[in-house]
Structure 1
Amino acid sequence: MELILYQRDTCHLCDLALAVLAEARAPDFESVFIDDEDALEARYGLRVPVLREHVGGTELDWPFDVDAVRAFLGME
């Protein structure tokens, strides 16, 4: 499973999301910062942090908790 976490450089919600992902023991993921990326800013600007499963394209928007992450990843 290829995961991407869309986030911003200075985003306290993104920091919280990282902690939730760690607690959920999510597999490795790529962090993509949307700052200064017009297309990503337009798509995710008000939604970050967003966890995306790259192949299927499904997305989990903030706010999410450990249970939501595990369900999203099929870890239950």
Structure 2
Amino acid sequence: MLRIIYYTKQNCSLCDNARALLGMLQNEYAFDIEERDIYTNDDWLEKYQLLIPCVQIGDMYLDCEHMDLPHLEQAIQAYSQTT
């Protein structure tokens, strides 16, 4: 099953919106979401601090600039076709 890694932090309205989009897409596509709070790991904090919300789907990353329903769905579909 597809696993999406979702980088987030607490008290982030953009992150809440992205999580809601992922939840909507789970109704159409089979995937698990692994949430990672960037404040629990120094490497994640350094790498994603200015990019959250950020998701990793396979080897593809979508950051806050591309965190919308069309981009997420396209990434999920693209990854699903390669596996």
Segments of structure 2 that go 5 or more residues without pairing to the other structure are: none
CA offsets 1:8-64 (integer angstroms, 9 cap, x no match): 0221110010111122235221000011421111100000110102xx421011242
> What's the TM-score once normalised by structure 1's chain length?
0.82
Provide the rounded CA distance (Å) in 2 between the counterparts of 1:36 and 1:28. Answer: 20
The share of aligned pairs that are identical, in percent, is: 27
Segments of structure 1 that go 5 or more residues without pairing to the other structure are: none
Q: Whose RCO is larger (CA < 8 A, sep 6+)? A: 1
Provide the rounded CA distance (Å) in 2 between the counterparts of 1:45 and 1:16. Answer: 17
> What's the TM-score once normalised by structure 2's chain length?
0.76
Letter in 2 for 1:14: C
Which residue of 58, 61, 81 corresponds with 1:59? 61
